[in-house]
A and B are shown apart, each in its own frame.
Chain A
């Protein structure tokens, strides 16, 4: 096979893997949007916060150490213990559930029946708040996240492809792990929403708030559940991205990358989020590979948005979204 084609294939594969990670973030958006009609801008910061908390718990960092030191003139850093990854993850999940309860209790409850755009801006405010809070709690330096996921070049795949075509594909082990985790996550979520009682209630709320209320489903409980699940998805996304590029502020910016994914896939569709993520992932890698060198590179910054913009002009509801019907 010609080299160019092989390169393109490798780029496509890498793009698919990157797309899976975008899909993970987009998934959290879709869940919350379906259940409460809220476009949760804070999803990216939730991923950052979850990853920060995980690292903090694992390393036994003292929360608010900087603040305590600044106020009392002490010098505390760490408790001096190391929590095993599994316990740390469970504790972090607890923190995310607590966060979901607080958000429902102090924000969502008061904003029922507001316009969607007001809710959207409220989540932007929430994102800023959490960013400041997370940084104050755990410090803003770049942290290394290690919960024992495989990393580095996958040698089996390289040798196999080398044997076939005389050219070894370079695929990161972590990306493969991310793909598997994402697949498991999506299957679990689908099973949960299709076959469990809570899942059915979730879908009922997504369909029609008032009808769901009238048959005795507690809206507030459902919201807590949904935000907890979104927190869980954020944790998974945060772990994957954090393991890839370190836990740092830029992690919260992947939320912005998930937006065009959603626009492509439609805001209300879980398969849409996956397919949209894959299209964006492959699209931006291939574009950078083929057109990028001609126009100066670094096209990954805007390609996704432009693609989504062009796409929306022709199909405003996205690939899998519900048809938008408006009434006066």
Chain B
């Protein structure tokens, strides 16, 4: 009854190629945007912002980035943490070297720097494939973290080796630093998520996106039909790293405020984001976002239930979380390799027919 495409005739090409061709979807999408921009900022407090919303939004950006590389272009990367660190440190250097520069542009520039670094580490992908490449990206992960730890220039020779975000504001509203209001953090990240998700969605159905998918499905065949693997792979690395760099910059400047590179951007972060896109759905924009939401919420939920309600120790809760996440990954790969996004697709199919069985 609700979810109908019958009678919804498309009369122009632009209408035919809409992102949400079904009216119900479209209304839902606008409703979510209205709630996210118009309602949540008035009710958000610092617990909800710091525990749920801000990490969710930032991880969503990182997951989008990794999904472009892994889900759309088929190049598995375990260097996400390292690239996030590049974004964070680039953002820090821009913030401290050019104090007058708008924080918005600092984050974007940090993304661009990361894109360059990503392309550099993407170069071997032209020669090596599959998990050989996955291991090669580990080189990026460990080397970058080591670099930011050892070279003083990156952290302005601070005694602790940490980087700390100075206070910066945008249109009179403080965005970074300890005095930031919860809603300002939230809105700043939300703007980035919406912009980048829109960009990702449109890139992936453009010529570029199609060439990525051709490379993913079979690179030799793609080459034969005229896809340039150099351009396709490097552009995937660049766009993906740009997203991940922006996520790293936000993670450092808006979310944490102070960062110790080995702890925050270690190999665990790379795996976390990889898990987000596996659970959410490889090769799906919606999947990246839902996967990020799932893996941000799960620990909060487990902590509340196990530690808060049952009174267990925190370390047991952490182990149970490992157990559940690992188990879910395997279960999903066996039962639904396309993740939560595919489940949602099935639900939509059912909705389309409801209340009839066929």
Question: B-contacting residues of A (Cβ < 8 Å)?
Answer: 39, 66-67, 70, 107, 110-111, 114, 116-118, 120-122, 124-133, 135-136, 140, 253, 256, 259-260, 262-263, 295-299, 301-302, 305-306, 308-309, 312-313, 316, 326-328
Contacts and interface: CB of A to CB of B under 8 A. Distances in A.
- Scoring B218, B315, B329 by chain A CB atoms within 10 A of each residue's CB, the highest score goes to B329
Interface string B293-313: 000000000000000001111
Contacts of A110: 334
Chain B, interface size category, equals 35 or more
B330 interface: yes
A305 B144 CA distance: 12
A263 B326 contact: no
B124 A298 contact: no
Given A111-B334, A328-B218, A328-B224, A309 B136 contact: yes
B323 A121 contact: no
A120 B76 contact: yes
B32 interface: no
Contacts of B325: 125, 128, 132
Contacts of A327: 220
B138 interface: yes
A131 B322 contact: yes
Given A136-B320, A305-B136, A312-B136, 9 more contacts: A114-B333, A121-B333, A126-B330, A302-B142, A305-B135, A305-B138, A308-B139, A328-B218, A328-B221
Given A117-B76, A326-B220, A316 B132 contact: yes
Say whether chain A's binding surface is mostly helix, strand, loop, or mixed: helix
Contacts of B146: 298-299, 301-302
Given A126-B326, A135-B319, A313 B131 contact: no
A132 B318 CA distance: 8
A39 B133 CA distance: 13
B134 interface: yes
A253 B319 CA distance: 17
A256 B323 contact: no
B312 A70 contact: yes
Interface string B201-236: 000000000000000001011001000000000000
A111 to B, nearest CB: 6
B322 A124 contact: no
B329 A121 contact: yes
A305 B143 contact: yes
Interface string B138-150: 1100110110011
A133 B323 CA distance: 6
B333 A66 contact: no
Interface of B: 74, 76, 124, 127-132, 134-136, 138-139, 142-143, 145-146, 149-151, 218, 220-221, 224, 267, 271, 274-275, 278, 310-313, 315-316, 319-330, 333-334, 337
Given A39-B131, A302-B146, A309 B329 contact: no
Closest 5 CB pairs of A and B: A125-B329, A129-B326, A132-B322, A128-B326, A132-B323
Given A70-B312, A263-B132, A313 B127 contact: yes
A298 B323 CA distance: 32
Nearest to A42: B326
A302 B143 contact: yes
B128 A313 contact: yes
19 contacts: A39-B131, A70-B310, A118-B337, A120-B134, A124-B271, A128-B271, A128-B325, A128-B326, A132-B319, A260-B139, A302-B142, A305-B135, A305-B136, A309-B124, A309-B136, A313-B128, A316-B127, A316-B129, A326-B220
B150 A298 contact: yes
Contacts of B323: 128-129, 132-133, 136
B329 A122 contact: yes
Contacts of A127: 326
A42 to B, nearest CB: 9
Contacts of B334: 107, 110-111, 122
B322 A305 contact: no
Nearest to A258: B135
A309 B125 CA distance: 10
Contact of A296 (B142, B151, B316): B151
B267 A256 contact: yes
B64 to A, nearest CB: 18
A68 to B, nearest CB: 11
Nearest to B332: A125
B316 A132 contact: no
- Scoring B142, B312, B324, B327 by chain A CB atoms within 10 A of each residue's CB, the highest score goes to B142
Given A135-B319, A305-B142, A312 B131 contact: no
A259 B138 contact: yes
Nearest to B315: A140
B130 A308 contact: no
Contact of A124 (B132, B274, B324, B337): B274
Contacts of A302: 139, 142-143, 146
Contacts of A125: 275, 278, 325-330, 333
Contact of B330 (A66, A107, A295, A306): A107
B330 A259 contact: no
Contacts of B136: 263, 305, 308-309, 312
